[in-house]
Amino acid sequence: MQRTLLPITAVILLAACSQAPETAKNTMETSTANPLLVPSDLPFHAPDFRTFKDADFRPAILEAMERHMAEIDAIANSAEPPTFENTIVALEKSGQDLGRVTAIFYNLTGSATNDSLQAVKADLAPRLTAHGDAITLNAKLFARIKAVHDQRPSMAMEPVDARLLERYYTRFVRAGALLDDAGKERMKKLNEEEANLIAKFEDNILKERSASSIVVDDVKQLEGMSPEGIDAAAAAAKAKGQEGKWLIDLRNTTTQPALAELKDRALRERIMQASLARNGRGNAFDNKAIIARLAQLRSQKAKLLGFPSWAHYVMDDQMAKGPDQALKLMADMAPAAAANARKEAAKLQAIVDRQGGGFKVSAADWDLYAEQVRKAEFDLDEAAVKPYLEFESVLQNGVFFAANKLFGLSFKERKDLPVYHPDVRVFDIIDTNGTAIGLFYGDYYARDNKNGGAWMSSFIDQSTLLGQQPVITQNCNYVKPAAGQPCLLSWDDVTTLFHEFGHALHGMLSAQKYPKFAGTNTSTDFVEFPSQVNENWALLPEVLNNYAKHWRTGEVMPEALSAKLRKAKTFNQGYATTEYLAAALLDLEWHSLSADAPLVTDVDAFEKAALQKYGLDIAEVPPRYRSAYFSHCWTGYAANYYAYLWSEVMDADAFAWFMANGGMTRANGDKLRNTVLSQGGSKPEAELYRDLTGRDPAVEPLLVKRGLR
């Protein structure tokens, strides 16, 4: 399953066009000489990390907010009659300084943060939110937008212009532009409190990740782990001043990779318990009170805007149009998924019993014994596969190769551009005519000062209106190998790499006039579609045979082994589907609370009741994320985590379309590029899908893919 966080491009564009100035008393803190306030001289105006320091961000953002507000005031107070150009297009052009600075800032706080940047983030979060409110709740500005919107019947508009106008009007209404003055003031207070809580939640996630790392004193406890993994654990411990020990960092998901290898059950239990307890163990990083209040705040905002719950508010502007369709999709799958998971658990227990284990299988045991089941049923051993999945080959000969085959793209690494961390790599994105059309930054290894999970983002979004080409980033959290050792990936890691690159392609191949429609700026329940489609190429023989080569010998993965990989595609899908559905339904339950519901005081009890409601309270299969460390739920994908499954319906159906039409051909790639990837959010998402396949998606291919049919 995917490990994607919200593409930060969406957050940044909202920050650029809906976030807020300080009063004049802060003017002395700014400086016109601040290097962040002007585009860099580097290719495609990529950030020049040599020219600014952490202390430059706060004054730069404050100054950029003031500049942005001056632009907004000029639009709102214009003496000219409102037109599409002087109001809507003018809004699209506004906030470029703020967009540039916040893009750099939020990429750094996600990928290479420190105490100084975190302090600035916490300090500015409510101010940026107030800035957004000062724009979307500006009565004069909205009056001009509404006046243009009301003129639509008499205006001859290009379809993309009409959509831009509609999206601006809808965005302002959804932000509260139609509220009375008292309602607007209430909304501002709720938004400010929410911004502060989110900043604290994110800071706690980052700090708890480091605090929860597992330190091992005796290498014998690491029996089962590969030599490369043991070396990496020793290097990680040494880097944290614990030479002679071994350190296992926790990834952002509940299940941890080491659990599939370690034979020491006590250590496995220790890792799982640490993972499950994160941000809810009563220490300084406990998020339980924060998330309970966030859920309440959002329900109150929804009521203020006329919706029964936050889920109703969010989905009203998505493909789903309301919780009922998303809930039905998930609830219909839950019984079959849970039944499959219980059957899988029985197989694991049978192995434990045959081996005289004398214990009941727990969540900490699942991955280790699932590997044994896979080996017994499919003669497939993860340890036999990993030597063929060396990171550099997967990237160059897999991910990049597939992009070349489908779209004619190539990637040339360059060493002349500054980066924010030595591990970061930069590539020219070269189109079919040999011209570089943007830059791609890859940041692949885990660090304490980096968010968990994997995601795509951008420093610059494509826009012909602004004369911008894309500068795209991709982040993963693979364990950095010890010096001289290879970075060997699991199959899940390979899928993640292809998945996030699918998001990156959405940004790279954007061909839009307006920044609001560039790249991944689509509805959340569509944005995962291109990334999930891109996962499919990893297992196609023409791609797999090009990258799956033994890291020592260069031997191509034997056909017998790759055939086993393909045959085992539905293996463990009861577990995978159940852990995903449990998290997605938790997200929906939190955000379906009404404004009149009492504050949740027992988060654990709320979780248990929600899982029992859907038959997913299975001890051996915990949710992919528990509520207290569920970043998707509380930051970018609030009431939207269902989007992965919603998009996967389209993905499975579209992949069936690809295979029925010749497979991985350049013609099919160009059609995907022309109908979806280049279009961003410039059309309704259902229309984009039909432009590609000529039909609405059917759910049957997904059920087959997940082994539920």
CB 272, CB 367: distance < 8 Å:
no
Question: What angle in degrees, to the nearest 10, is found between the helix axes of 363-378 and 265-277?
Answer: 120
Q: What is the DSSP letter of 664?
A: S
Catalytic-labelled residue, pool 500, 579, 589, 607:
500
Tell me how far CA of residue 112 lies from CA of 316, 425, 453, in angstroms: 35, 14, 14
Q: Which residue has the tokens 């101010």?
A: 127
Q: Which two three-digit tokens encode residue 149?
A: 């919107």
Q: Which two three-digit tokens encode residue 682?
A: 């410039």
Scanning 86-241, the segments in alpha helix (DSSP H) are: 90-93, 96-111, 115-136, 139-150, 159-175, 181-211, 227-239
Residue 29 annotated to the active site: no
Q: How far apart are CA 257 and CA 361, in angstroms?
A: 18
Scanning 572-642, the segments in alpha helix (DSSP H) are: 573-590, 603-613, 631-634
Scanning 461-602, the segments in alpha helix (DSSP H) are: 491-508, 524-535, 541-547, 559-567, 573-590
CA-based radius of gyration for the chain: 25
Q: Which of 138, 98, 93 is nearest to 11 (CA)?
A: 98
Q: Which of 279, 287, 303 is nearest to 190 (CA)?
A: 303
- Sign of the torsion angle spanned by Cα atoms 382, 385, 386, 392: negative
| Consecutive H or E run containing 54 | none
Q: Which of 543, 462, 431, 461 is nearest to 497 (CA)?
A: 543
Q: How far apart are CA 709 and CA 96, in angstroms?
A: 50
Q: How far apart are CA 364 and CA 349, in angstroms?
A: 13
CB 488, CB 385: distance < 8 Å:
no
Q: How far apart are CA 160 and CA 682, in angstroms?
A: 6
CB 394, CB 546: distance < 8 Å:
no
Q: Which two three-digit tokens encode residue 381?
A: 């051993």
- Sign of the torsion angle spanned by Cα atoms 410, 415, 420, 421: positive
Between β-strands 455-460 and 436-445, what pairing exists: parallel, antiparallel or unpaired?
A: unpaired
Scanning 568-705, the segments in alpha helix (DSSP H) are: 573-590, 603-613, 631-634, 643-660, 666-672, 685-693, 700-705
Question: What angle in degrees, to the nearest 10, is found between the helix axes of 96-111 and 8-17?
Answer: 140
Give me the amino acid identity at 327.
Answer: L
Q: How far apart are CA 225 and CA 246, in angstroms?
A: 12
CB 261, CB 229: distance < 8 Å:
yes
Active site residues: 500
